[in-house]
Amino acid sequence: MIEVDVFLFDILIVIGLSTLVLFLGNKFRVPGIVGFILAGMLAGPYGLGLIEDEEVIRFLSEIGVIFLLFSIGMQFSFRTLYHMKKTVLLGGALQVGLTVIAAAAFAYGLGFPLPTSVFLGFLICHTSTTITLRVFQDRGELDSPHSRTTLGISLFQDLMSVPMILVLPVLSGQEMHPGKYAFSLEIALVAALVLVLVLLFYLLPRLMDTITRTRSQELFLLTILFVCLAITWITSSIGLSLALGAFLAGLLLAETPYFHQAFASIMPFRDIFTSFFFISIGMLLNAHILLTTPLLILGLIAGAITLKATIAALSSLALRQSLRTSVLAGLALANIGEFSFVLILAGMEFSFLSESSTQVFLTVAVWTMAISPFLISAGPRISDRVCALPLPKSIRVGSEPQPGISSHSLRDHLIIVGYGPNGRNLAQIAEMEGIPYIIIDMNPDTVADERKKGQPIFFGDAANPSILHHAGIEHARILAIVTNDPFSSRTITATARKTNPSIHILIRTRFLRDIDQLREIGADEVIVDEFETSIELIARVMRKYLAPRMAIDRVTSQIRSDMYKLFRQPPPVQGVLSEIAIRIPQVEVQTMEVVSASRVNGKDLKELKVRNDYGVSVLAVERGEEIITNPDGEFRVQAGDRLVVIGKPEQLTLFAEVVEAEGAGANGT
């Protein structure tokens, strides 16, 4: 019988400690999961011993596991698995399979029994999806290639946790623990399959349609909870696990049109009860082990991170991802995740590990999770060093040009880095307008498909100088960087500017805060997603209120001008007017500064006969802060003026000699 006073006091202690630890952890960028574990360590028997009834916390943690697996099931859906099938199935299977084999072989070599060794492989192969995705979200890299690879492999790990839990009784040599109704494993699995099919195609869609028509939020939420707990109870009663039932319930709801609302409704319950799950893990953790055996713990932490990162990177390479993407994904997948804690709790019933071994594993797992955000942050620097190593060509995928598309015949062309929606639109317009272009992308499947359609696209990591060289960066006129990888975009910008100082670089970024840094490293124009989206919203609202088109253009132009002016100085005239020469590859736009001793100083353009004698035209003149566009023949040139001139290269060279030479006249006039 639970005493209400004791129950409330224990909950009060747990929530109070969690709030304090999370508050402090937020200041030092410690992940929330690690904060919950630390709170459990403080409150548990190895810490301050504040919890009187640990079974209450364990009970709440089991509910947390149910909601965790339920939410994971809703994020899966059969459609998600299909769209990411190659990454999930091939990459995930390689990572899980190789990690389990390697970890089990290592443990077996140390003298652990085979079942225990395999169980340890199960524990080590999982990664914290929550931590990695949260870090990628904070860094603005959720749509990057390495983030997508990490997510696909993590999804397979999460999916495999269910059959791993199911196989534990068999692995231990025991019979499947019967539920309330003692069915065999075969009958239980068939019953679960029938239940899934009946609910998927008949009962659940009709139930959800009926409930949503009532437009009652309370009824909708209660129905979601009922479906989750009912399916979980049924699977548990026929001898299967609570985790499997919760996962099936989420997977089934994911196939209904209402799963977005269902997921949003269940999130508060998941967050609350999952926190108790991690707190219960912390209560099992004895921090004294790290102090008494530091070398053992540090060695195991380093070994686990190295093993997991290496295998995950090799699994990514098997998907034909670039070496850089594979290294970044490997580092993100190097920690030991929360589903390992689910497995270790499930495995306690079968005594795979002794209490001391359990403590060692929990300590290692928690520390890999705590290190993970810092490891991901260091990923770009580590990947750069790995890519610079003299590795075999088969491993240096994406770091060296692949045979196929060549840019040797291209001049004054456009290089598009990234073939997402923005890259596709840009390539389509370039093709329509006859602008020569070449595309670099890091998705091997996209490259293969588009090559079949005749697109000038090749696979590679544009952050590597050899890839940019293969794209003809030295002779290109414009570089458009439209990838979803902020760090890679900065590296590409700096490399391109160093290789071709005259190239015009346009770069897409998500946040206004990136403008200054991108401009400093060489970007000519920065297009900011969040700001341009707000401009489009303003324009559409004005159109709905029947505002004149000229008024809309004036307002949006003014807002855009004012906002960008806050973050950067306006580009020089050369950067604005050089686009004129894009469609006329025989000509160039140059800027020439008039010195005080120049032969053109004090003369007007008519007197200089610029167009007649030299074949060039003065498009604009920069005079201090003033810009004079399209100056007439009476315009008198002064020392310090910067003339923006267009013409053929040889004509510009001749005119530059006149502008910069000393003497009393120009061309004898």
Instruction: Tell how strand 642-647 and strand 617-623 pair up.
Output: antiparallel
Bridge partner residues of 439 (DSSP)? 416, 457
pLDDT of residue 88: 81
Closest alpha carbon to 526 in 514, 538, 534, 537: 514
Contacts of 343 (CB under 8 A, 6+ apart): 119, 122, 123, 126, 161, 164, 165, 168
pLDDT along the chain (669 residues), means of 10: 69 82 77 78 81 71 76 68 77 94 94 92 87 72 80 82 82 61 52 63 74 82 84 71 73 74 75 76 77 90 95 91 89 88 81 86 86 86 84 68 64 89 89 89 84 87 86 91 84 90 88 78 82 78 78 75 52 48 63 81 84 84 81 85 84 80 47
Angle between helices 217-237 and 185-198 (to 10 degrees): 160
What whole-number distance in Å separates Cα of residue 236 and Cα of residue 233?
A: 5
Give residue 568's pLDDT: 46
Sheet holding 617-623, edge to edge: 588-593, 642-647, 617-623, 626-629
**Alpha-carbon torsion (23, 25, 29, 33), positive or negative:** negative
For the chain, percent helix, then strand, then coil, each to nearest 5?
65, 10, 30
Q: 413, 414, 422, 462: which is closest to 442 by C-alpha?
A: 462
Retrieve residue 385's tokens.
Answer: 């060093």
How far apart (Å, rounded) are the C-alpha atoms in residues 287 and 45?
11
Q: What are the structural domains of the chain? A: 55-385 (1.20.1530.20), 414-571 (3.40.50.720), 581-660 (3.30.70.1450)
Q: What is the pLDDT of residue 570?
A: 45
Encoding tokens for residue 498?
């160093």
Please give the structure tokens belonging to residue 131.
């931590």
